[in-house]
């Protein structure tokens, strides 16, 4: 059996890292099992869906390293859903309901006051043709509910009906169909809720595994019932924990919190995002993983914890730094060129600074330092300025080798008697303007004698 998974986002906003989490989980599962990954846009909400959001989603998951086998749009498949509706109606499994939202809420409250579970009582099944016609004459349009198989003889006498599945993440799961209302599949205006198109597409596209957030666990029992009504095959389900902010709040497209696009624009490496999104909230150590293939080998659905996972953007900095430290020049050459970092010394420059930056674009600050032709006058303390002047007088002549820093500092030490921090810190401040950074033994040859002398105050 070929593993086929899907990621089905709604193109009604920009996806955040919480949305990308199931995309990553499905992609890694496909990689691990040499399967297929389908990007399927849930764009049946024609009023809120936007092509620019769909394009942004495609761009974001591509940046993360996710490469779909194919792309589908639910908005192009309404005829398939219409056929499924007719099949369910013909089987007596989809029935018309005319209650308004206010009427349903009143009935729910009445059941609660009677200490009954607030499930729909299937009153619409009792309507006569004349009553339905009267509602239609009032201008009411029906919504359509799926009749759950939770009874033996009459739908008004439900009994405990267990649906079982072995969840990839959570292990054996059980849902009692008698504890829930018949789900609405079609709205009054004829549009479809999420469930029907999703199940129909999963059947038609041969989806073998559905990996999604654990907020769908309670829906799964009803969805399995719909699968069985329409097909002989039910996919394997897996429900992973959800990501929240560090304060425990849920992520939202509308707030823009931790959007994938904003992380990309901030210069975060895609594998830093993927590593943190996948490994946080699991029994695995959260550490930087360099490639999707390595992350797929590490990924195990059952390692996810049962509680929500808190995503701290601050953790990205450490992961990002660790990944950057191992990036070769060839990995970043186009990005450096976009920062105007190029030429004969670009490769040696990258090897020198990559261990001291959090993001690739931070290299631009050190490129400015290397090519600076002015003194860092404010960086050097007044009591050290005579020392710096004397040190610059002892600067070795060209050409410079890789040992120029050692040769120079030994000469300065011998002439001034300074050593340790009192020797090296003033020189670092005079050369770079800051108290920390790359090794000066590597940086000085890149600066060159002429640019070094230009920093003499």
Which residues are CB-contacts of 219 (< 8 A; sequence separation ≥ 6)? 183, 195
Length of the chain: 457
Short-list 37, 29, 4, 26, CA closest to 213:
26
Token code pair at residue 90: 């013909």
Cα–Cα distance measured from residue 327 to residue 453, given in angstroms and rounded to the nearest whole number: 32
Token code pair at residue 94: 């989809």
β-pair type (184-186, 143-146): antiparallel
The set of long-range contacts for 171-175, using a CB threshold of 8 Å and a minimum separation of 24, is: 171/302, 173/217, 173/220, 173/237, 175/217, 175/218, 175/220, 175/221, 175/222
Residue 132 is labelled as binding a ligand = no
Cα–Cα distance measured from residue 272 to residue 317, given in angstroms and rounded to the nearest whole number: 8
User: Which positions make up the binding site for ATP?
Assistant: 253
């Amino acid at each position: 059996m070929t593993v086929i998974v899907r990621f089905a986002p709604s193109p009604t906003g920009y996806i955040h890292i919480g949305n990308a989490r199931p995309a990553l989980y499905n992609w890694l599962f496909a990689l691990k099992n040499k399967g297929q990954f389908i990007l399927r846009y849930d764009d049946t909400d024609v009023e809120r869906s936007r092509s620019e959001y769909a394009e942004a989603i495609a761009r974001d998951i591509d940046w993360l390293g996710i490469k779909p086998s194919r792309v589908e749009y639910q908005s192009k498949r309404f005829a398939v859903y219409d056929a499924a509706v007719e099949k369910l109606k013909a089987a007596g499994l989809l029935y018309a309901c005319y209650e308004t939202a206010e009427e349903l809420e009143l009935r729910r409250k009445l059941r609660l006051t009677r200490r009954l579970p607030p499930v729909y009582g299937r009153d619409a099944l009792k309507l006569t043709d004349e009553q339905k016609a009267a509602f239609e004459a009032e201008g009411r349009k029906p919504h359509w509910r799926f009749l759950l198989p939770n009874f033996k003889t009459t739908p008004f006498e439900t009994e405990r009906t267990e649906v079982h599945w072995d969840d990839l993440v959570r292990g054996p799961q059980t849902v009692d169909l008698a504890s829930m209302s018949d789900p609405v599949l079609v709205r009054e205006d004829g549009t479809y809720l999420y469930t029907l198109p999703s199940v129909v597409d999963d059947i038609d596209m041969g989806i073998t595994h559905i990996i999604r957030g654990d907020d769908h666990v309670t829906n799964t029992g009803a969805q399995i019932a719909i699968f069985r009504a329409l097909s002989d095959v039910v996919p394997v389900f897996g429900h992973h924990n959800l990501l929240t902010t560090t304060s425990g709040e849920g992520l939202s497209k509308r707030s823009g919190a931790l959007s994938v696009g904003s992380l990309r624009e901030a210069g975060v490496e895609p594998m830093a995002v993927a590593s943190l999104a996948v490994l946080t909230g699991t029994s695995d150590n959260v550490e930087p993983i360099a490639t999707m293939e390595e992350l797929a080998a590490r990924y195990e659905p059952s390692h996810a914890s049962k509680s929500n996972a808190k995503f701290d953007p601050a953790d990205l900095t450490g992961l990002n730094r660790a990944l950057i430290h191992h990036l070769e020049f060839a990995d970043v050459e186009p990005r450096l060129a976009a920062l105007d970092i190029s030429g004969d010394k670009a490769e040696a420059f990258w090897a020198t600074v990559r261990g001291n930056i959090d993001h690739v674009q931070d290299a631009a600050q050190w490129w400015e330092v290397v090519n600076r032709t002015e003194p860092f006058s404010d960086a050097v303390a007044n009591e050290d300025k005579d020392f710096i002047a004397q040190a610059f007088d002892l600067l070795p002549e060209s050409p410079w080798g890789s040992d120029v820093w050692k040769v120079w500092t030994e000469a300065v030490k011998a002439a001034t008697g300074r050593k340790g921090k009192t020797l090296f810190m003033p020189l670092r401040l005079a050369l770079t303007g800051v108290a920390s950074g790359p090794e000066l033994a590597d940086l000085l040859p890149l600066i060159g004698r002429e640019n070094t002398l230009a920093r003499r105050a």
